[in-house]
């Protein structure tokens, strides 16, 4: 693996760890945004991680938003995920933040 690939993987791991830390301990307001709609995100902590869930209202699009769903904490972006256009009816987005433990190598 070259250095650039290693640095990229390290950056991804740090972002994932920061998201998990915020998901577990942050006391601010979590929301999700898709296009012009920003809705509350319910946070549920389980043994496996944290699940965020948001319900988006019915909407009529000429063109769907180009960006994916954005997870926000107090208005600051914590993550972006692309989704397929759900159509014009109400829809629910769930966002799982789960730790995976690497297998030990002997």
- DSSP secondary structure, 20-57, as one string: HHHHHH--S-EEEEETTEEEE-EEEE-SSEEEEEEEEP
Instruction: Quote the longest CA-to-CA distance of the chain.
Output: 56
Per-residue DSSP letter, 62: S
As for how many domains the chain has, the answer is: 1
**Separation between Cα atoms, residue 104 and residue 69, nearest integer Å:** 34
Domain around 52: 3-98
Q: Is the pLDDT of residue 106 over 70?
A: no
Evaluate whether residue 106 is within a structural domain. Answer: no
pLDDT of residue 52: 97
Evaluate whether residue 29 is within a structural domain. Answer: yes
Q: Is the pLDDT of residue 102 over 70?
A: no
Q: Would residue 99 be called left, alpha or beta, if left means φ above 0 and alpha means ψ between -120 and 50 degrees?
A: beta
pLDDT of residue 88: 83
Q: Is the pLDDT of residue 103 over 70?
A: no
Evaluate whether residue 104 is within a structural domain. Answer: no
Tell me the backbone φ, ψ of residue 50, rounded to 5 degrees.
-130, 135
Mean pLDDT value across the chain: 88
Q: Residues 17-65: pLDDT tens digits?
A: 899 999 999 999 999 999 888 999 999 998 889 999 999 998 877 777 7
- Band of the pLDDT at 85, cuts 50, 70, 90? confident
Evaluate whether residue 28 is within a structural domain. Answer: yes
- Band of the pLDDT at 93, cuts 50, 70, 90? very high
């Amino acid at each position: 693996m070259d250095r650039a690939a290693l640095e990229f993987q390290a950056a991804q791991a740090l972002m994932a760890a920061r998201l998990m830390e915020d998901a577990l301990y942050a006391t601010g307001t979590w929301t999700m945004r898709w296009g012009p709609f920003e809705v509350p995100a319910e946070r549920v902590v389980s043994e496996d991680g944290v699940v965020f869930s948001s319900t988006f209202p019915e909407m009529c699009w000429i063109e769907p938003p180009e960006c994916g769903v954005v997870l926000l904490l107090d208005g600051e972006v914590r993550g972006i995920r692309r989704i397929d256009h759900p159509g014009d009816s109400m829809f629910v987005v769930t966002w799982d933040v789960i730790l995976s433990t690497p297998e030990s190598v002997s």
